[in-house]
Structure 1
Amino acid sequence: MHDIEVINDPAAAEVTLDPIRAELLAALAEPGSATTLAAQIGLTRQKVNYHLRALETHGLVELVEERKKGNVVERVLQATAASYVISPTALSAVAPDPGRAPDQLSARWLLALAARLVREVGDLITGAAAAKKPLATFAVDSEIRFATAADRAAFARELGDSVKTLVAKYHSETAPAGRDHRFVVGLHPKPKAASPLVSPSGAPDHQKDSRARRA
């Protein structure tokens, strides 16, 4: 089971957007069967089996073991990942293109860069897993509180100058064995804490209450 998996297939993405199936995926962070899941989420075993087949068809859950109980074989399944991200590849016709209108001060351009990051890193993870090779990446996540807008602007200028200096120092245009890397730096206000979203059943949906640190 992976910590996170990127969904590229539009049909698989559509499956995960169903509230019941999303709830089943969350429940299957630990192995479970249609019988145990039915009791957990309040559906009949037949309905749970229907949804599990859809998830399994798209590779979102996998068989862990089969247990024979009398004349019945109970299938125990588990989600393939603890969490999922839908790649812009799933909406390729309308996926954001950072090259369309580059603007360092545009929040929408920052979002387009983030979408490209999800798409490219997702593809790289898939390829590395298939080749059974490690993937070299690096990330920094931090928070900073600016006293004034002027301080924020000064920070952005200094950061930009530092990045330009590092890129000029280490970039090698003609290295025969070199490999191009994507380097992205983003800065945005931290969203205010939101109330937990409510699932269709009326209970707080903690899966959707993201507390990720943002840079």
Structure 2
Amino acid sequence: MDPDSVSTDNILLPRNIEIIDSKIVNLSIILFISGYISKVEISKFSHFRELYLLYIPYKFKLLLRGSRDGFTPRKFHESCDNVSNTLTFIKVKGTEEIVGGYNPLRWESSSSWGKTNDSFIFSLKNNDINNAIISDIENSTYALNYYSRNGPRFGNDINIENPNSQNENYNRIFCKKHHYKKKIRDSEEDFSIEDYEVFQIIKC
């Protein structure tokens, strides 16, 4: 053994550490997504994962939870407009499926499009990163949709809206490939939300 090397095999994650207050995703998903944001590939070796958790470069501030705050476009914009670097998780009702996306810009109610090369969308099943699909933006001009009757809408690829009212619950939610590189969901049919969460990512 190299006497100058440092073994990390016995490093344990502190039991009282709280990375994120989520009812939808687990720590494996947070590791996976935060690693993608920071462009760090998270190794499957346990010692590397524990080290990354100890020094994870982000804090996750909960801005909105549907089951707590409601499922209306108005509540989304009241809670999330003018906040940059946000991460959205949407739990599909009646399944173990999660879809979501990362927005490096701020959300708005400006009836316009947000342009960026750094947003991405994703889907997972059964809280398992091994079957995750991550899709980077393809047409950066239409990365984000800023209409007041939408929720956190990523291009036309993750559509969440109520076309008729800001004050009523979302009633049109679907995923369909348009402006991002990959299709993240097999079905393009509308689905219902069990819950959704939006976090601000704060770099430590």
Smaller-chain TM-score range? under 0.3
| TM-score between the two structures when normalised by the length of structure 2 | 0.25
Q: Which has the higher contact order (CA 8 A, sep 6+)?
A: 2
Higher Rg:
1
